[in-house]
Amino acid sequence: MTAEYDALLAAIDYHFVRGDRLRRALTHRSRVHEEDGATGSAAPPPNNERLEFLGDAVVNLVVGHALMRSLPDAREGDLSRLRATVVNEAGLAEAAQRAGLGAFLRLGRGEEQTGGRQKASILADAMEAVIGAVFLDGGLAAAERVVTRLLEERIRAATAGTTTADHKTRLQEWTQARWREVPRYEVVHTSGPDHDKVFEVAVSVAGGELARAAGGSKKEAQQRAAALALACLAAEEAEGAAPALDPDVGDPGVGDPAA
């Protein structure tokens, strides 16, 4: 690698075996179109779109795996929603800005003149392309380290609330402070023999279900459902998209989280 990329390589903590992969990941299609027009070549130099496609899959895999490890009781739908709060244009563009990626983009004159180095869409796409290039260059383990480094804070926000034992108390404090509502817990399904039953519990606020989880007792299932609800709410708040519940809906005096 040439010294011109040292700052970026330090920011992502990865050094490429083949520097052309990083160069391609940083090449926007606007740059390629101009170069093709200047040379008259029938085969323009490649841009970063194929690497972006690959990087998108890698990021979703790594983040999805991290969420599954942290939230072993979460349902597929909840995991998908949490992953979407981590992996999106805003989050990837933010990671690109922290890494200083914009300064290294290879843009066409038009994009350069219209502020392409600061455009969230271009930054997010390039960030995915860089991760795709890391995957090709160093494999999945290297890509996982880079993704975790870049998105660590957002992943942590998505799994917040899973380390405190009394999740139900924390969830009640959260919902009462924001919506003057207490959570309601309902057993929605039971399975297994009498001596080894599994209870699935849904937790709702103001008529809207927040999460579901299963456990060997009602209390265990309630705690797990509360933990998952806390994680979802924290991720949505970090994303600036907390559920818009009407604080006047429902009776704050009804419901007992310890029931």
In a domain, 8, yes or no: yes
Regarding whether 130 and 73 lie in a shared domain, the answer is yes
Regarding whether 143 and 104 lie in a shared domain, the answer is yes
In a domain, 71, yes or no: yes
Task: Name which residue leads in pLDDT, 153 or 238.
Answer: 153
Burial bucket for residue 149 (CB in 10 Å: 0-12, 13-18, 19+): middle
Q: Which residues pair with 208 in a beta bridge?
A: 205
Domain that holds residue 220: 167-239
Q: What is the DSSP letter of 44?
A: P
pLDDT tens-digit profile of 216-252?
899 888 988 888 888 888 777 766 655 545 433 333 3
CATH number for the domain that contains residue 190: 3.30.160.20
In whole angstroms, give the CA distance from residue 226 to residue 166: 9
Neighbour count for residue 244 (Cβ, 10 Å): 7
* 49 in Cβ contact with 124 (< 8 Å): no
Tokens of 95: 């990671």
In whole angstroms, give the CA distance from residue 59 to residue 169: 34
Regarding whether 68 and 29 lie in a shared domain, the answer is yes
Regarding whether 173 and 148 lie in a shared domain, the answer is no
In a domain, 246, yes or no: no
In a domain, 90, yes or no: yes
CATH number for the domain that contains residue 114: 1.10.1520.10
Is residue 149's pLDDT more than 90? yes
Regarding whether 128 and 187 lie in a shared domain, the answer is no
pLDDT tens-digit profile of 1-43?
557 789 999 999 999 999 999 999 999 998 877 665 444 555 5
Which band of pLDDT confidence, cut at 50, 70 and 90, is reported for residue 134? very high
Which of 93, 124, 158 is at the close of a domain?
158
pLDDT tens-digit profile of 100-133?
999 999 998 988 888 888 888 899 999 999 999 9
pTM here is 0.65
* 32 in Cβ contact with 46 (< 8 Å): yes
In a domain, 83, yes or no: yes
Which of 133, 158, 183 is at the close of a domain?
158
Regarding whether 138 and 15 lie in a shared domain, the answer is yes
Is residue 256's pLDDT more than 50? no
Regarding whether 228 and 151 lie in a shared domain, the answer is no
Regarding whether 177 and 142 lie in a shared domain, the answer is no
In a domain, 247, yes or no: no
What is the three-class DSSP state of 40?
coil
> What radius of gyration do the chain's Cα atoms show?
23
Average pLDDT, the chain: 83
Regarding whether 139 and 172 lie in a shared domain, the answer is no
In a domain, 135, yes or no: yes
Catalytically active residues, by annotation: 56, 128
In a domain, 257, yes or no: no
How many structural domains comprise the chain?
2
